[in-house]
Amino acid sequence: MAYGSRVTFMSQAGYGVCMAETRYRDESWLREKYFEEGMSQPKIADECGVSEGAIRRWFNKHDINATRSSENKRTEGKHHDPEWLREQYHEKGKSQREIAKLLPVGQQTVSRAFDRYDIKSRKRWEHFENDVAGFQTDSQGYEKVYSRGDKASVHRLAAVAWFGLDAVAGNHVHHKNGIKWDTRESNIEPMSPFDHLSLHKSGEFDPQEAE
């Protein structure tokens, strides 16, 4: 074997060993070993050549409940039930990851079940097809954009675009000409709430402009 080939082979072998030694950091792999194969944490640790404490830390990191609860037992084996899977995925809108945690099994197991039962995956945009996005002017005269139950003021978004998030966070955005829909860079200015109030303390201050 040529020197270069030996180096490549040794590098690939070392990479394979490295992957095998760190596989306990993978959430799906841990769930399959623990919930599906019934391996205890000490046995998983032995297989990976690490301490039991390391396995516990990664269980905690991935929020894997090491107690096989009554809820776990209730959903045990549900990944073999295509109707239940379709209900959770299409009707309740859960992701494969969320379904895996319910069962509990690894996400790869859920993915294989989807393939086996020909359960069509949602398109990426289908998560949002029932959500309404829009634009409105509120009762104080501020323009707002909204989506999925969240709202944001247009002038604050514009200020972030013009001046950066750090300049706007925790501050008010002042309209120099008093026109609340005029969000040109030359017309808006981030300032502290105190400075903004002080600017209007003469009686000209409109409390509705304190945003």
pLDDT at 211: 52
pLDDT of residue 148: 61
Q: Which residues contact 147 (CB under 8 A, 6 or more apart)?
A: 131, 132, 133, 134
pLDDT tens for each residue of 179-198: 988 999 999 999 998 888 88
Closest CA to 151 of 132, 169, 125, 165: 132
Give me the domains of the chain, ranges plus CATH numbers.
1-66 (no CATH), 67-130 (no CATH), 133-209 (3.90.75.20)
Model confidence pLDDT, tens digit, residues 47-86: 888 888 888 888 888 888 766 544 455 556 677 888 999 8
Interatomic CA distance for residues 45 and 68, integer angstroms:
19
pLDDT value of residue 4: 47
Q: Which residue has the higher pLDDT, 172 or 24?
A: 172
Instruction: Report which of residues 110 and 14 the model is more confident about.
Output: 110
Question: What is the per-residue pLDDT across 78-109, written as a single tens digit (0 to 9) for each?
Answer: 778 889 998 888 888 888 888 888 877 777 88
